[in-house]
Structure 1
Amino acid sequence: MKEFFLSTRIFKKLGSSENEINAQLKDLEIFIKDIAEIDPIFSNWYVNKASESSFKAPLDYPFPSDIAKNYLFNLKKNDDLESYLLWNGLEEKKSYASFNFDSFGLMVTFKKVLETEQIIELFKAFLKVLKFEYIYLNSYFFGDINVFPHRLETTSICYVPIKVDEKLMPHLYKIVDVNNDLNEGTILVFDEDWSDESNEMKKKVQENSLALVELNVVPEAELPENFFES
C-alpha cells in the first residue's frame, strides 16, 4: 500500500519559550480542526505517546483537550527537540494517519488516495498556521525520480512562495493562488491523478522540476545555516 507524506520546509527553526510553545499548540489546534472536515481519516486525533513497552493503542489523550495540550506543553518545555506527535486512532492500515509537528516543520502521513480537491484543502490548512518556504506531497516514487538529489523532491502537488505564471510550467492540471496573512504563493497541481506512478507522471514531474529549479523555488535538501538563527 502506498504511503504519502505531506511534508514542509519552513524558513526558520521554531522557538521553544513558553509563549512560543503555547502559540504552536494554538496553531496545531487550528490546523486539526480545519482538516477534520476534509476526510473521515482526519476526524479524530490523539497524542501518540506509544513506546516499545506499550500494550495498547494510545487513545487516552484526545486532541484538542486540556490534558493533551498540557502533556505536549510539558514534553516540549523539557526538551525542545521533542515533537508534537498525533495519530488518528485508526489501526487499519488504509485508514491510518499521523501528524508530526516539531521545530523544523510539519508533516502528515497517510495511505488513503484522497481526491485532488481534498489535498488542496490540506495544503490550505497548512498555509493558515505557519509561513512556508515549500510544501510537497511526497512518496517513495517521487524520491526515486528526483533529478536534483541536493534539493527537496518535486512532487505532483506542491506549494511555492511566489506567484507562478502557468505558461512557465510544461505540465499543469490546476493552479491555486494563495494570499493570506502568512503566505503568498501558488499551489501547483501537475495532474488530476496525483498519485499515479506511471512513466507519464515521471516525465511531467521531472520536466516541471527543471522549470521550478530555474525559478529557484525548490529548496536545498540541506538546511541553510541561517535556519537556526533566532
Structure 2
Amino acid sequence: MNGTETFRALHHGRLPDDPLILPGPWDAASARVFAEAGFPALATPSAGVAASLGYADGDVPADEMFAAVARIARAVDVPVSADVEGGYGLPAKELVERLLEAGAVGCNLEDSDGGVLKDPREHADYLAEVRAAAGDRLFLNARVDTFVHGDGDPGRAIGRAGRYVAAGADCVYPILAPEDVLPLLRAGIQGPLNALHRPAPDAPSPTALGTLGATRVTFGPGLQRRTAQALREIADGLLRQGPGTLPHTG
C-alpha cells in the first residue's frame, strides 16, 4: 500500500470503541514525537501551524502553509493529512498538485469563508473537482461548519454532509458538533465521521466519541495550545528562580 491507501484503510473496519486517533502536529518536532509514540497517521491543524509560524488562524499565506506541511510530512514515516482551510482560492487541480508536492495523503476543506457558510451546492461542486483532479491519490475530509458558523441544526448538517459525500468526500467533519448530536449525525451520514476532541475535564474521551459515532478523532489546535501552556509554566518557573539560577545553555 502507498501512504494514501494506508491512510484510507485506517478509516474502515473500525469498532465503535476504537476510533482512529489523529494527533495534530504543528511542526516537524511535534510530528516526530507523535510518530515515535506509535500513532499510525497524523493530521495537521491549520490554527496550530499558524501559531507556530507567528500568524493568527486563517492568516497564513498558502506558500507558507504548504511549506510547513512539507516539513512535517518529510519528518515522519507515517501518513500526514493537511488542513488547508478553504483551499486558499486555488483551482482544484493546483490545490491537488500542491498537496501532493508537500507529501500529504489527504486534506481538510472547510465549507465556510470568513465565518459565513458557503453555498453547499457550489462547495460540493468544488469538492467534486478536487476529487476528479486527485483520483484516489488524496483522502478528502469535508468539514461541515453548521455548528460553528451556522444555526447548529443537525438536519442541515446532515444535508450538507450528504452533498459532500456524493461529491466524492471520503469523510465528513461536523466540527464542534455537540457530543449528544453525534449519534444522530452517525445515523444520517454515510461513511467515516470525524469528531473534534476538546481538552476539558468533562469532555468525552476519544474512545467515548467513538462509541457515540465518530470514526476518527482529531484535536484541532488543542494539543499545540496545551504544549504552549506547559512551556509558559516552565518559563514562569525559570523566572521565579531568579536570573542567577537560570540554566546555562551555552
**If the length of structure 1 is used for normalisation, what is the TM-score?**
0.32
Bigger proportion of residues as strand? 1
Bigger proportion of residues as helix? 2
